[in-house]
Structure 1
Amino acid sequence: MRGPDDAVAETRRDFDEVISIGSDVLGQVQATIEGLLRTWNLYQIGIALALLLLAHILRAVLGPRIRAWMGARHDWPKWRLRILAIIHQRLRAIFFVGLIWATIFVMREVTWPSRSYLLSIIGTLAFAWLTIVFLTRLIKSPTLRKFVRYGAWAYVTLLILNLLEPAEQLLDSAGFTVGEIRFSLLLLIQALVILGVLITLARFLTKTTSSRIKANEDISPSMQVLIVKGVQVAFYGAAFFLGVRALGIDLTGLAVLSGAIGVGIGFGLQKVVSNLVSGVIILLDKSIKPGDVISLGDTFGWINSLGARYVSVVTRDGREYLIPNEDLITGQVVNWSHSNEFVRLDIYFGTAYHDNPHDVRRIAIEAAQSVDRVLTNRNTVCHIVNFGDSSVDYILRFWIKDPTGGLTNIRGNVYLALWDAFQENGISIPFPQREVKVLEGEMPKPATPNP
């Protein structure tokens, strides 16, 4: 059994190893700097700076002309113009790489090859950095692009300067061991690089597959959402596990710990898990799908998107409600377009007793059918529902097939058509009236309370 003294001794040995490797790396860097300060090497540095200045001048002189030439190519494809724009942004680096390699070729032909050794290193670095810039332009995310670019620059620089192996030893020495797994800065960097590459690949495959699935009209919208989410989980899960395995981390040792953490998270995230499961049920039973018009409580709108945790519902006033999936499973939802798009609407009105009910019904049906969104191929009916205190009450029923266009506005248009039709045909819409009579004579005196 290990004691505290053993742990302190192991930590001290690790610290001494880090100091030793760091000293070796500093020694190599110091030797490299001393080599750069030699006379002919200083000449090569001066030549490189002069070539950089010349590249800057060429960029200032030729840049506007190249840009004008590019601006005249309106008929070219967009991808070709985009490539030209990227090249124009890096003209200085392109000129510098061309000039320095031309200088290296001339120096190797007219003098000893060793006298262009430092220029060769600088030219190789410049060409590698420029290549990395062009390749990382394929990454759309600006943050990920910068991360990959700087990481690739650092790796290539260490590789060209023959400092990669000492740097790996230094990063690997700065770490600690847990059981059979050693965690270090080198492992962290490798994990970031491998997982970054795999996640980027998974994102590309997910977007490509999703676009093809959404373009397939034979698959229903709800099944498209379900398949896309399954593809996302599969690709990202595979990227994570492949990355962990590539790093040499054994996941079986973390099984017990992950199980305990999973139980704790399960108790704390019951609602989240319930919404996730409800979302899968909604997609499987196809009760709602993107584009459906639903009513849930006071919310009326159409389904904009189905999320893993919530459903996005957009109302007529432009508000977007994020309704948890669990509410759609447990609550009473009115789906106005579940099996078909036809919706029947009812409005109520009343007319005076002296108006002929037969004429009222005929005029009301004709008025409703004169509205644009009211369907004429489905029967519009009008019935008497009550003999009220001051009016004969009717119900008018008509059909529409575009509930996404709104319900309140179509009801208002039908009411307005009824008003115009009743005015033209002399049909009155009564309203309650009360008469107040004031009797003449002396007002009765209020009773006096008993003392």
Structure 2
Amino acid sequence: MANHDGIGEANHQSIESAAPPVASPELNTLRSLVPETAAQPVTDLVDLGQSLLGQAEAFASSMLRPWNAYQLGIALSLWIVAHLLRTLLGPPIRNWMGTREGWPKWRMRILVVVHQRLRPIFFVALLWIAVAIMREATWPSRSYILGIIATLATAWIVVVFATRLIRSTFLRRVVRYGAWTYVTLHVLGLTNDAAVLLDRAALEAGEFRISLLLVVQAVVILGVLIALARFFTTTTSKRIQSNEDISPSMRVLIVKVLQIGFYGIAFYIGVKAIGIDLTGLAVLSGAIGVGLGFGLQKVVSNLVSGVIILLDKSIKPGDVISLGETFGWINTLGARYASVVTRDGKEYLIPNEDLITNQVVNWSHSNDFVRLDIYFGTAYGDDPHEVRRLAIDAAKNVDRVLSFKAPVCHIVGFGDSSVDYILRFWIRDPTQGLTNIRGNVYLALWDTFKEHNISIPFPQREVKLLETETTIGPD
């Protein structure tokens, strides 16, 4: 009965034993045009293609049998039912998800992924229910096609959920499509034929040989290993960044070392798993290293400078620095540059080499205390003792000026029209800005001097026009 109505085991035997079709004149012409040295690989590919074509024709002819066509119709009907279930149950499930505000983020992300793929999930569930019912009610061969479709759909859903762990969109798609292709070939029993076909499509030059099979294996293995390395790097980095016992600069250094280590191990294992011998690349890599050393001196210098900065802790994230005309705080320390954010929102990417070779003012290297100086002058008729006292009191009443580090005021010179003073005060939050606190102190001095009739002189000039007699013409 299985031989009469389904494809079952007998159909597999018929497919495998199907004789390949007779070579067409075009194929014979192709063989005659190929040189003798390359005739054997091309002949093997042609023979393998004919074998696969014969299996495909046998499989297609088996689909014309009634019960096989019925199974395809049942699968199509179940897909329509799954679509209707998604349309009816999707909005209520979405509304229920909106009420789960207290749930962890990882659980909500799983719910979102499940909600986005309700249709294939319903389809897989309906397929397995149909397969179970048909296996109980009729012969197993009459549910064979449905079983294959259910297995493929289940494997594809598992691949979709597994590849969601890969954050890179490009890498996720490569791994996903590669896994789908492998699963499909494995379920259909074409894995060995596909491997032979890909292995025969190769490029050979002496002892060097690279085939499509090797390329596919490299993409899949390296993709999976790099994804795992990225996952472990991200997880470890989060734990290190949250550890308050480690200084910020050491956190950055440890994270960079872990990234290099994980990705290096992933690449090494992937290359060894593919079967590539790395010893042959030693001389080539040495020559490339010398060339890169001359051509990328600045890049290497920035990398080494970045490591030195992280080790000596001279600059760390959160420090307020001045470099030339740039004043701001360190946002991040990268392998090649440091990100400095200024008060006006500009972000400067300063090469690490400049931070090593140039003079850098670190306002918060050992502590956050910063002393600021402002200069002003008063008229010679004002009492300098009173001026100093009023200036100190005005500075003390300004927010952000530290009281336990009392401001001081000194005479620094006698100018052409004023007595010159310097007022010094301390703050401990340079990240909040320096210009604004200076402006507030100047404004406090203005108000205090105006209240106590202290005058701030300014240069005055008098212009006199001299009258002179002008004679025109002869006497």
Q: Give the TM-score category using the shorter length.
A: over 0.9
Q: Compute the RMSD of aligned alpha carbons.
A: 2.0
| SS class of match (2:372) | strand
| SS class of match (1:337) | coil
- Pick closer, same or farther for the CA change 1:279–1:368 going to 2, 3 Å: same
Deviations 1:228-252 (A, max 9, x none): 1111111111111111011110000
Aligned pairs (5 A) from 1:66-215:
66-74=93-101, 76-215=103-242
Deviation at 1:71, TM superposition (A): 4.4
- Which residue does 2:410 correspond to in 1? 383
- Which residue does 1:449 correspond to in 2? none
**Contact (CA 8 Å) 1:309, 1:325: kept in 2 or not?**
yes
Which structure 1 segments of 5+ residues have no match? 1-6, 446-451
**Contact (CA 8 Å) 1:213, 1:228: kept in 2 or not?**
yes
* Distance across 1 between alignment mates of 2:416 and 2:98: 80
* Distance across 1 between alignment mates of 2:42 and 2:424: 86
**Matched residue pairs, number?**
439
Deviations 1:191-220 (A, max 9, x none): 111111111111111111111111111111
**Contact (CA 8 Å) 1:288, 1:335: kept in 2 or not?**
yes
- Pick closer, same or farther for the CA change 1:88–1:346 going to 2, 3 Å: closer
**Contact (CA 8 Å) 1:181, 1:249: kept in 2 or not?**
no
* Distance across 1 between alignment mates of 2:98 and 2:380: 79
- Pick closer, same or farther for the CA change 1:423–1:68 going to 2, 3 Å: closer
Are 2:428 and 1:364 aligned?
no
* Distance across 2 between alignment mates of 1:382 and 1:69: 68
* Distance across 1 between alignment mates of 2:425 and 2:286: 59
Residue from 294, 299, 318 that aligns with 1:267: 294
Deviation at 1:401, TM superposition (A): 0.9
Deviations 1:65-123 (A, max 9, x none): 44444445555554444433333332322222222222222222222212221121112
* Distance across 2 between alignment mates of 1:58 and 1:243: 43
**Contact (CA 8 Å) 2:120, 2:157: kept in 1 or not?**
yes
TM-score by length of 2: 0.88
Aligned pairs (5 A) from 1:271-282:
271-282=298-309
- Which residue does 2:58 correspond to in 1? 31
* Distance across 2 between alignment mates of 1:291 and 1:78: 29
- One-letter identity of the residue aligned with 1:256: V
- Pick closer, same or farther for the CA change 1:149–1:427 going to 2, 3 Å: same
| SS class of match (1:300) | strand
Residue from 232, 246, 250 that aligns with 2:277: 250
Deviation at 1:417, TM superposition (A): 0.7
- Structure 1 residues 176-185 or 394-403, which shifts more? 176-185
* Distance across 1 between alignment mates of 2:342 and 2:437: 16
**Contact (CA 8 Å) 2:121, 2:157: kept in 1 or not?**
yes
* Distance across 1 between alignment mates of 2:259 and 2:184: 36
Aligned pairs (5 A) from 1:22-61:
22-61=49-88
Are 2:399 and 1:339 aligned?
no
Residue from 379, 400, 410 that aligns with 1:352: 379
TM-score by length of 1: 0.92
- Pick closer, same or farther for the CA change 1:274–1:444 going to 2, 3 Å: farther
Deviation at 1:352, TM superposition (A): 0.6
**Contact (CA 8 Å) 1:343, 1:400: kept in 2 or not?**
yes
| SS class of match (1:275) | helix
- Pick closer, same or farther for the CA change 1:239–1:64 going to 2, 3 Å: same
* Distance across 2 between alignment mates of 1:310 and 1:78: 33
* Distance across 2 between alignment mates of 1:335 and 1:61: 63
* Distance across 2 between alignment mates of 1:366 and 1:127: 79
Deviation at 1:288, TM superposition (A): 0.7
| SS class of match (1:430) | coil
- Which residue does 2:465 correspond to in 1? 438
| SS class of match (1:435) | coil
| SS class of match (1:283) | helix
- Pick closer, same or farther for the CA change 1:275–1:78 going to 2, 3 Å: closer
**Contact (CA 8 Å) 1:278, 1:329: kept in 2 or not?**
yes
* Distance across 1 between alignment mates of 2:416 and 2:35: 97
| SS class of match (2:462) | coil
- Which residue does 1:302 correspond to in 2? 329
- One-letter identity of the residue aligned with 1:417: A
* Distance across 1 between alignment mates of 2:95 and 2:240: 42
**Contact (CA 8 Å) 2:199, 2:211: kept in 1 or not?**
yes
Deviation at 1:137, TM superposition (A): 2.7
* Distance across 1 between alignment mates of 2:359 and 2:99: 62
Are 2:226 and 1:218 aligned?
no
**Contact (CA 8 Å) 1:222, 1:286: kept in 2 or not?**
yes
* Distance across 2 between alignment mates of 1:199 and 1:110: 48
- Which residue does 1:418 correspond to in 2? 445
Which structure 2 segments of 5+ residues have no match? 1-33
| SS class of match (1:22) | helix
- Pick closer, same or farther for the CA change 1:324–1:9 going to 2, 3 Å: farther
**Contact (CA 8 Å) 2:175, 2:224: kept in 1 or not?**
no
- Pick closer, same or farther for the CA change 1:193–1:406 going to 2, 3 Å: same
* Distance across 1 between alignment mates of 2:182 and 2:213: 12
- Pick closer, same or farther for the CA change 1:165–1:296 going to 2, 3 Å: same
